[in-house]
A and B are shown apart, each in its own frame.
Chain A
Amino acid sequence: MRQYPIPRLVTKLLLPLILLFALYVQFHGDYGPGGGFQAGVIFGAGFILYALIYGLDEARRILPPWLLRIGVSLGVLIYAGVGVTGLLLGGNYLDYGVLDSHDPVHGQHLGILLVELGVGITVSAVMVTIFYAFAGRGR
């Protein structure tokens, strides 16, 4: 794809918007449709588009596989960690109300934000990891 100028230019223009939209979906999921899963897929799709147009090596230089492997497990750890934090603070597992000692509603907000962040990190890293595995195998 490297030799075609139009896809290259369109990718360059679209990529920041795709990533920004992913962040919007991630952090606006409390108010509108969307959430960590959709945001993670969109974020991953942005990088997959980049890898398709600019080549796998270039994409691996920006988002190296070791970083992705950390991301894959980090998201699940954040999610489970929020649950364990709830346990340590005296609540039930994954009960976010205890995260804020003064205002349970605020604790719920914080818990949902962190949990969705964990989902987003894992899903985006998984999508790019699977794409790297498929694309790297074919060469």
Chain B
Amino acid sequence: METLVDIFLLSLLVVTAIASIRLRDLFAVVMLFGIYSLVSASLFVVMDAVDVAFTEASVGAGVATVFMLGTLALTTHREKAPIAHNPLLPLLVVAITGAALVYGTYDIPRYGDPANPIHQHVAPRYIQDSPHEIGIPNIVSSVLASYRGYDTLGETTVVFTAAIGVLLLIGGARRRRPNKDQRR
């Protein structure tokens, strides 16, 4: 049953990806990106990573879609026609890179195998000691906020920096000056 769900979701991902490459209307592409994120979130749920799925659904499918629509409103919603060129060389490069990536997946540890290296190192320590060290039921939260507190502080600072960057580039006061000039 789970294999069936996986196949369904993964083929939906492929269809969405191909459709978003083929389409020239950027509004539709943004919507497809939102669908892509939502399908990815469903895949994360299937893999039991609900915290990641939650983030993907709210950020990828929700807020990022609105931001991209905002960008479209500032620019244009039609993609320029691509310059005509011979597709053989790009196709060759993509095929070789894809083959190398697929070859690389054979070295990845099998999904869900308890003998994987990641399950041998720090994960057992967290699972055994988190209940009496931190005392909260959601181990993901205790790892994110306490054991890996530095990482989360760094992530919060990154989000903070993003806002500062956007404000410096397109935010606030500079917009009003040309309006005043027009009024004069």
Residues in A neighbouring B127, C-beta threshold 8 A: none
The answer to whether A125 and B58 touch across the interface, beta carbons within 8 angstroms, is: no
Give the segment of B4-12, B29-37, B165-173 that binds chain A: B165-173
Assembled-state Cα–Cα distance A32/B67 (Å): 28
The answer to whether B51 and A119 touch across the interface, beta carbons within 8 angstroms, is: no
The answer to whether B135 and A108 touch across the interface, beta carbons within 8 angstroms, is: yes
Using A38-B55, A38-B58 as known contacts, say yes or no to A31 and B138 having CB atoms under 8 A apart: yes
B116 contacts the other chain (CB 8 A)? no
Q: How many residues of A contact B (CB 8 A)?
A: 54
The answer to whether A135 and B70 touch across the interface, beta carbons within 8 angstroms, is: yes
B46 contacts the other chain (CB 8 A)? no
Q: What mask results when residues 98 to 122 of chain A are scored 1 for a CB within 8 Å of chain B, else 0?
A: 0000001110110110011011001
Residues in B neighbouring A45, C-beta threshold 8 A: 58, 62-63, 66
B125 contacts the other chain (CB 8 A)? no
The answer to whether B160 and A35 touch across the interface, beta carbons within 8 angstroms, is: no
Using A83-B153, A115-B149, A130-B67 as known contacts, say yes or no to A137 and B133 having CB atoms under 8 A apart: no
Q: Could you say which of A32, A94, A130, A134 contacts B149, with CB atoms under 8 Å apart?
A: A94
User: From DSSP, what is the main secondary structure of chain A's interface residues?
Assistant: helix
Using A112-B145, A138-B73 as known contacts, say yes or no to A30 and B160 having CB atoms under 8 A apart: no
15 extra interchain contacts, Cβ-Cβ under 8 A, other than A76-B156, A122-B159, A130-B163?
A33-B51, A34-B54, A35-B145, A41-B59, A45-B66, A48-B66, A72-B164, A76-B160, A112-B142, A115-B152, A129-B163, A131-B67, A132-B171, A133-B167, A137-B170
Q: Taking beta carbons and an 8 Å cutoff, which residues of B are in contact with A? A: 50-51, 53-55, 58-59, 62-63, 66-67, 70-71, 73-74, 132-138, 140-142, 144-146, 149-150, 152-153, 155-157, 159-160, 162-164, 166-167, 170-172, 175
A-B contact pairs, 19 of them (CB 8 A): A30-B138, A31-B138, A35-B140, A38-B51, A42-B62, A65-B172, A76-B153, A76-B156, A76-B160, A105-B135, A108-B142, A115-B149, A119-B155, A122-B159, A129-B166, A133-B166, A133-B167, A134-B166, A138-B70
